[in-house]
Amino acid sequence: MKRLAWLGLALLFAVAVPTLLGGSELWPRLRAFSPRLMMTLLDMILLCWVINAVRLRLLLGQQGAQLGMLRGVGVVMATEFAICTTPGGSGGPLTLMALLARERIGPARSGAVFAMDQLNDLLFFFCAMLAIAGYALFHRLGHSQESMLLGSALMLCLALAAIGVLLRYRRGLMRSNGRLLRRLGMSPARRRRWARKLLRFLHALADTWRLPKRTLALVFALTCAHWSLRYSVLYLVLLGLGVELAWIPSFLVQVLALSAGQFSLLPGGAGAAELTSATLLAPLVGASTAAAAILIWRAVTYYFYLIAGGPVFVYLLARPLLERWRRHAG
């Protein structure tokens, strides 16, 4: 109940930011937005779910055959719902592990698939930043766009450096973690159990790396397709509102806004993402247009995930638990 109240407050703050920014001009802007374009944007999100389901099945290798396409889309929708409703998206990997466990896929394997999926995402953003930096060498960007590019590149480099340190010094970190757990009073048997789980995860991650190069290349191509669609939403929303802002600044606004949302540890970054995007977007397109664009953008890329993913999450996770409880009670 406390988590639902926290989520409700975050959503209220998320809606309040663009509402206060847009003022009396917000509603006319929203009413003028094309319903046909809105349906196109929602169709793009549906396509993103299908793409992610294909990525999931490919990363599972031979085990992906036992996960049907429709079931795979359901797993993706439920996982992203959990990401959107938990601090920092922490519920995502747990939900994925729980759902794949019903397909007889162990937690080490599903955890490795989730980690590999995240690494592909980081690789896409790294390539995107390199492409934008190359573009900036031959085309003049505005001061605000240069600042956004530098901020995005800095956060990405820090994330990649942290991953590199974890992989390079994983054995030393495991030993340090063991000493820390011993000081905290954890029993030797339990420490060994956690160590075995970590080693299984690392072995599963190594197995995922050893997938055929053609498969890994296809996964990365699908990753690029997914994020290109997802990060074109704000650009198309602004076009629908009658503003021609280039794709690059709209991309950078989303990267910084969603990164701020992640660091805020609010469910789905609700509130923090809106506040950051409002700060970055209003100087570029005006306050009322920015407010309308933020509301529509978040409706497509966040609220729709809650509305569509919630029932799927309940059906896949809660329904089997209720049926088991009924059988036990009967």
pLDDT tens, position by position, 230-276:
999 999 999 999 998 889 889 988 988 888 888 777 888 888 889 88
* Cα–chain center distance at 327: 36
Query: Are 256 and 148 in contact, with CB atoms under 8 Å apart?
Result: yes
Cβ burial of 178 (10 Å; 0-12, 13-18, 19+) is middle
3-state secondary structure of 87: strand
Residue ranges making up the domain that contains 33? 2-329
Total residues belonging to the chain: 330
Number of domains observed in the structure of the chain? 1
Give the Cα separation of 153 and 71 in Å (integer): 36
Give the Cα separation of 170 and 182 in Å (integer): 18
In this prediction, the residues of the chain whose per-residue pLDDT falls under 50 are none
Give the Cα separation of 86 and 81 in Å (integer): 9
Q: How far is CA 299 from CA 14, 76, 113, in A?
A: 11, 19, 28
Query: Are 60 and 302 in contact, with CB atoms under 8 Å apart?
Result: no
pLDDT, residue 164, reads 75
pLDDT, residue 329, reads 54
> Which token pair is 54?
């294909």
